[in-house]
Amino acid sequence: MNRHRFCWSNSALVVGLLFTVSLILSGCAAKSGGQENNKGFFSWFKKAAQPKPLDNEVALTKEAMNYFQRGRYLLAEELFQKIRDRYPFSPYATVAELRLADCKFYLHRYEEAIPLYEEFEKLHPTNEAIPYVIFQESSCYYKLMEPPDRDQTFTKKLIDTCERLLKRYPDSPFSYEARKRIAKARTVLAEHELVVAKWYLRTHQIPQAINRLETILTKYPDTSVKREAARLLSRARSRLAKEEGGAEQGNRSWWERIL
């Protein structure tokens, strides 16, 4: 009796081992033969263990916003770009367009962010986020603004953008800061004119210096540069008058000068 029981248990063990080996061999055979075998135990287990991909705009947007709110702008940028490319007509694409520009801004890539904000404003002119978009455009120019002794292209664009914001949305939450930025930008432009005027004075180009100083008093009378510009203008005019008087005196003959 014990002998039969032993034989039966051994037989069960052998059958179990053979079944397991057959599963392994069938999986290997399918792999080596280039045939799919999705019903194999190991392939099924591997597939089930993998996380589900983000395969729709809702899931992608949720994940992108999660990265954005945590300040992980590079990862958020990648997902927002994917949403915009894959689902251009989805409402989520509008969110992605704006946040993609914001990612560029927070990554300090201001010259890349500007055209994205401009594009959003052009594509969605009635969107409620437009005041924010225009303000962000001005923020880019504000960050790019150069010192007074450098080129002032961005400073002028900052003023234009802020003035456009105030004209279209005078009561927006961004109006106060826009006015402050305009005032600061105008001061920088006045200081730029002063730098150029001083250079003309040093190089004895008095008429050109006077022209620059007069520009300050005419265009930027509300800036702190006005006082110094007025002082230099008075000196420049006196100097020019002396030079012109000396030249006129030199043009007269010696006998006319002694009469």
Instruction: Give residue 258's pLDDT.
Output: 36
Instruction: Give residue 56's pLDDT.
Output: 86
How far, in Å, CA of 94 to CA of 7, rounded?
Answer: 73
Closest CA relative to residue 152, chosen from 190, 108, 200? 190
How far, in Å, CA of 185 to CA of 11, rounded?
Answer: 92
How far, in Å, CA of 225 to CA of 243, rounded?
Answer: 27
In which residue ranges of the chain is pLDDT below 50? 1-54, 250, 253-259
Instruction: Give residue 70's pLDDT.
Output: 97
Give the amino acid at 100.
L
Counting every residue written for the chain, the total comes to: 259
How far, in Å, CA of 65 to CA of 42, rounded?
Answer: 36
Instruction: Give residue 242's pLDDT.
Output: 87
CB 175 within 8 A of CB 169: yes
CB 174 within 8 A of CB 164: no
CB 57 within 8 A of CB 92: yes
Instruction: Give residue 248's pLDDT.
Output: 52
Closest CA relative to residue 133, chosen from 153, 91, 155, 104? 104
Long-range pairs for 72-79: beta carbons < 8 A, 24 or more residues apart: 73/103, 73/106, 73/107, 74/103, 74/107, 76/103, 77/103, 77/104, 77/107
